[in-house]
Amino acid sequence: MSELVDRGGQEVVGVSRIEGPILVIENAGNLGYDEVVEVIDSTGHMRRGRILEVSEKMAVIQIFSGTTGLSIDGTKVRITGSTLKIPVAEEMLGRVFDGLGTPIDGGPVPLTNHFADINGQPINPTSRVYPRDYIQTGISVIDGMNSLVMGQKLPLFSGAGLPHDQLAAQIVRQATLGAPAGESAKHAEDFAIVFAAMGVKHDVANYFKNSFAESGALARVAMFLNLADDPPVERLITPRAALTLAEYLAFEKGMHVLVVLTDMTNYCEALRQISNIRGEVPSRKGYPGYLYSDLASMYERTGRVKTSKGSITQIPILTMPNDDITHPVPDLTGYITEGQIVLGRTLYQHGIYPPISILPSLSRLMKDGIGEGQTREDHPHLMAQLYAAYAHVQDVRSLASVIGEEELGEVDQQYLAFGKAFEGKYISQSFTENRNIEQTLNIGWDLLGLLPKEELTRVSLAEIDKYYKGM
């Protein structure tokens, strides 16, 4: 430890190469891997960077705000002897920060002596509490078919131009701790919201800001903004800074925190850029082989732990390049998160909001968050039945497109009617409509009434007796 302190403040010179956001310096023997350095240009202006690789003879430094204006001669590197840390405090709620966690709302720097490493530390699996409490979002497709659970990481997979921002804003606005159908939540507690923007446009950031303001949530929101015209390298820090604050609020202050990260695709592109400049061996589409581990180091900072009553729920948003779900960014995200909500262009073109594609969407933690005592006893089977029926609708539709609707058998015709009604009444709801869980479940049964009883093999006979409304 003492050695770290000793090195702090030392300065080294000898820049040998500058390329993109990367600076290579010689004779760097005293720098530590992953540490922060202060880089001072010939005019005395300071910017910060981080060590990516270091040997006795050289160090590779990634400069957060870019290398514009840096020269080979005249640039000095000052050692801090510490990895990147940000201040964390409850007072940061209601505030706006840049991508590195510095206030940009004109307010003062948070007054605290609590600094936390932005990389955090892995949660010990034995210390976790398995998430089981569902969050009612008031959106049927989510609550009924893909429930969100407190402590879950559930991303939105979207595409350019689709209304993922509205959907995220609606979720954040309507989210409350769930209660069994017909009851109201025992303790209504507001979520603290940590919002991180990576490379999104100004209007997107403003949209969220306004939406938080309208719902009166602004005082509970901390915003970390790295916008489209901000330095891309900073983006690699932004979500980590946001999650560092979220961890503090959740696990030290016992709050329930919703974290919205947008847009993860921009984050990944920044990572790819750095990797390519460094000449690393790429895996798919030029992304580095460690993209999975890198994403996991953020997504896994979600959940609940035994020592705190708080929780972190993550809703990362990403746009799928070309709407391609097999693209490395959605693909690796799906491999880490606990499900995904997928937005679909076809539904959107049919004017359906929220345009959530049911079949590829999934919530893995749903099974323990729903059913008797949590939502209603019929919920698990009802959702499986709706899934099976709607999956069959797709087959019938493609058959109808070949042989014509009139040629379909009676049951298949009923499936078509079910499909249409499902999209119109279940999936579709307005941006301001907030349905409680009972409403959502009942709409489901109304729709199943369009199908003959014999088709409903996923629900039990007792459930059919109790809820089925068909002939």
Partner 1 sequence: MSERIGTVKWINGPVIRAEGSRQVGMMELVEVGEEHLIGEVIGLNGDIITIQVYEETSGMHPGAPVFGTGLPLSVELGPGLLRSIFDGIQRPLPIIEMRTGSFISRGVHLTPLYRKDRWEFTPVMKEGTVVTGGEVIGTVPETPSIEHRVMIPPDISGTVTWVAPAKSYTIVEPIARVKTADGEKELTMLQRWPIRRLRPYKTRLDQSIPLITGQRVLDTFFPLGKGGAAAIPGGFGAGKTVTQHSIAKYADAQVVIYIGCGERGNEMTEVLQEFPELIDPRSGHPLMERTVLIANTSNMPVAAREASVYTGITIAEYYRDMGYHVALMADSTSRWAEALREVSGRLEEMPAEEGYPAYLAARLAEFYERAGYVRTLSGEEGSVSIIGAVSPPGGDFSEPVTQHTKRFIRCFWALDKSLASARHFPSINWLDSYSEYLDDVAPWWHKATDQNWIGMRNKAMELLSEESRLSQIVKLVGPDALPDEQRLVLETSRLLREGFLQQNAMDTIDAYSTVQKQIGMLALMLYFHDRAHDIIKMGATISVIHKLPVVDTLIRMKTQIPNDKLSMIDEIHEAINAQMTQLEADYK
Q: Is 409 in the site for partner 1 (CB under 8 A)?
A: yes
Site string for partner 1, 365-384 (x = CB under 8 A): x-x------------x---x
List Cβ neighbours of 408 (8 Å cut-off, separation of 6 or more): 396, 399, 400, 416
Q: Which stretch binds partner 1 (CB under 8 A): 122-130, 266-274, 347-355, 428-436?
A: 122-130
Of 19-78, which residues contact partner 1 (CB under 8 A)?
28-35, 52-56
Q: Is 392 in the site for ligand ATP (CB under 6 A)?
A: no
Q: Is 132 in the site for ligand ATP (CB under 6 A)?
A: no
CB 335 to ligand ATP: min, Å: 5
Q: Is 130 in the site for ligand ATP (CB under 6 A)?
A: no
Count CA atoms closer than 13 A to 103's CA, side-chain side: 15
Reply yes or no: is the peptide bond before residue 117 cis, omega within 30 of 0: no
Q: Which is nearer to partner 1, 145 or 450 (CB)?
A: 145
Do 159 and 345 contact (CB within 8 A), yes or no? Answer: yes
Chosen residue from 78, 209, 364, 458 binding ligand ATP by CB under 6 A: 364
Do 275 and 63 contact (CB within 8 A), yes or no? Answer: no
Q: Is 78 in the site for ligand ATP (CB under 6 A)?
A: no
List residues bridging with 184 in a β-sheet: none
Q: Which is nearer to ligand ATP, 362 or 386 (CB)?
A: 362
List residues bridging with 356 in a β-sheet: 343
Do 83 and 119 contact (CB within 8 A), yes or no? Answer: yes
Do 309 and 296 contact (CB within 8 A), yes or no? Answer: no
Q: Which is nearer to ligand ATP, 202 or 367 (CB)?
A: 367
List Cβ neighbours of 351 (8 Å cut-off, separation of 6 or more): none
Site string for ligand ATP, 308-347 (x = CB under 6 A): ---------------------------x------------
Q: Is 277 in the site for partner 1 (CB under 8 A)?
A: no
Q: Report DSSP letters for 269-300, one per residue.
A: HHHHHHHHHTTPPB-STT-BTTHHHHHHHHHT
Q: Is 468 in the site for partner 1 (CB under 8 A)?
A: no
Count CA atoms closer than 13 A to 204's CA, side-chain side: 25
Q: Is 402 in the site for partner 1 (CB under 8 A)?
A: yes
Phi and psi at 346, nearest 5°, equal -60, -45
CB 380 to partner 1: min, Å: 7
Chosen residue from 103, 387, 423, 425 binding partner 1 by CB under 8 A: 387
CB 364 to ligand ATP: min, Å: 3
* CA distance linking residue 141 with residue 407, whole number of Å: 31
Of 210-249, which residues contact partner 1 (CB under 8 A)?
none
Report the partner that residue 210 touches, choosing among ligand ATP, partner 1, none (CB closer than 5 to 8 A by kind). none
Enumerate binding residues for ligand ATP (CB under 6 A).
335, 362, 364, 367
